[in-house]
Structure 1
Amino acid sequence: MTEFELLEGLSPAERREFIAACTPRRFHRRDIVCHEGDPGDCVHLITTGRVIVRVTTPLGHIATLTILGPGDMFGEQALLSPDARRTATIVAVTDAQTLTLNRAQLEKLRAEHPQVERFLTNSLAAQVRRLSAAVLEALYLPVETRVLRRLAHLARVYGDGDGKPSMIRLTQEDLASMAGTTRATANKVLRELEDQGVVRLGRGAVTVLDRARLDRKAK
């Protein structure tokens, strides 16, 4: 069973009860899970597959923020306010399955289990820290390092923990957007990594062959 930080601290019986109360959802590759601006009516816990997070910039362009995988969740911010809206568009980049929990169910969980309330607070604080770190990266880190860091993160998201090469299915435009740079720059970094035997490039995919070496380069 996929482990979720949200459920840490619950007993096995409580976890089973919680999972049983959730509604399973299935999405095919390229399905839109939710649109930016939609009412925030439920939180999603990802059990299988990967989804991509995109937002609209003030100039009307689409920016890719990150990719989420099994064990990750999204939508918890929208549930904290009755009139909240989705802050991003979520699209399945592979076939994916989630468990959904609506506002009433989450409020019941928060009331009965204080550790859930602490998790939500810690989750929001962690998001603030990640945003602050992203701003510092954008201002002070070389663009090549930003590309390497995003790629290393994606290798972890797509990795299965078996040490095998991680095939990351996304476009170079998406990778460039995550790193806050152009496709040409991202392509240059990827080509250099390919020459060094760290990755293998394919159509619509990047296969990370040496994660340890990539992690060292991303520091």
Structure 2
Amino acid sequence: MAYSRDGKRCLLSIHPEGDTFGELALFGPPRAESAMAMTRTVLRQVPASRLRQALSDDALLQDFIVKLGERVVEQQQMITNLLTMDSERRLAAILLHLAQKVGNRADCGYVVEIRDRITQEDLSGMVGTTRSRVGYFLKRFRDAGLVESVPDSFLCINESRMTAFLEGCAC
């Protein structure tokens, strides 16, 4: 999560259980982002010197390079979406990305569980729009069959329909 000078919150990413983050701090000045847990969480901090030492293992180094590449691609895609998509399509792209990252496969697509506690406010921080616009877009997505509400879950995202929407096809 990052904050603008005027205090506006920007939610950069949501990480599933077992994921790593903060690795880019190895390569530059101190980062301004912070992390916030959405559920009870145990974090393990690895000192940079220990990580660098561990990376002398070629297999671990290769895995680390792949992880860094994935993170850079993800961030480049986020930047591209911010510059090229309107807020409705950014929300669609973020929902699809979250579904694939933290969702569970189901008949309806990917179910994002309520335990992940993703709110419309969180989504608005990721999209760069207001919570009320996110609510409006979610209603449009429900009406178009891109997402559906599922009991005891946040949403079910229909991957094929959401992908078609993002590619500009009729829903």
Q: Which TM bucket (shorter chain)?
A: 0.7 to 0.9
Distance of 1:119 and 1:180 partners within structure 2: 32
Q: Is the aligned partner of 1:185 residue 2:130?
A: no
Distance of 1:191 and 1:122 partners within structure 2: 37
Question: Counterpart amino acid of 1:165?
Answer: V
Partner of 1:155: 99
Change (3 A) 1:78 1:201: same
8 Å Cα contact 2:99-2:157 kept in structure 1: no
Distance of 1:165 and 1:106 partners within structure 2: 35
8 Å Cα contact 2:95-2:157 kept in structure 1: no
Post-superposition offset of 1:126: 4.2
Distance of 2:100 and 2:76 partners within structure 1: 21
Which residue, out of 115, 119, 131, partners 2:75?
A: 131
The unaligned stretches of length 5 or more in structure 2 are none
Distance of 1:187 and 1:118 partners within structure 2: 42
Residues 94-173 of structure 1: pairs in structure 2 closer than 5 A: 94-111=39-56, 113-161=57-105, 165-167=111-113, 169-173=117-121
Distance of 1:96 and 1:216 partners within structure 2: 36
Which residue, out of 17, 23, 29, partners 1:70?
A: 17
Change (3 A) 1:122 1:209: closer
Q: Is the aligned partner of 1:199 residue 2:155?
A: no
8 Å Cα contact 1:110-1:117 kept in structure 2: yes
Partner of 1:91: 36
User: Which structure shows the higher strand fraction?
Assistant: 1
**How many residue pairs are counted as aligned between the two chains?**
162
User: Which structure shows the higher helix fraction?
Assistant: 2
Provide the TM-score with structure 1 as the length reference.
Answer: 0.60
The unaligned stretches of length 5 or more in structure 1 are 1-53
Post-superposition offset of 1:124: 4.2
Which range is displaced more, 71-80 or 181-190?
Answer: 71-80
Distance of 1:97 and 1:161 partners within structure 2: 26
Post-superposition offset of 1:193: 2.2
Distance of 2:14 and 2:96 partners within structure 1: 12
Question: Counterpart amino acid of 2:136?
Answer: K
Question: Counterpart amino acid of 1:116?
Answer: L
Report percent identity of matched pairs: 25
Change (3 A) 1:201 1:160: closer
CA deviation vs aligned residue, 1:101-156 (integer Å, no higher than 9, x gap): 32332122112x13433444454444444333323222222321111110111222
Q: Is the aligned partner of 1:218 residue 2:163?
A: no
Provide the TM-score with structure 2 as the length reference.
Answer: 0.74
SS in 2 for 1:67: coil
Change (3 A) 1:137 1:165: closer
Post-superposition offset of 1:161: 4.2
Post-superposition offset of 1:68: 0.7
Question: Counterpart amino acid of 1:155?
Answer: A
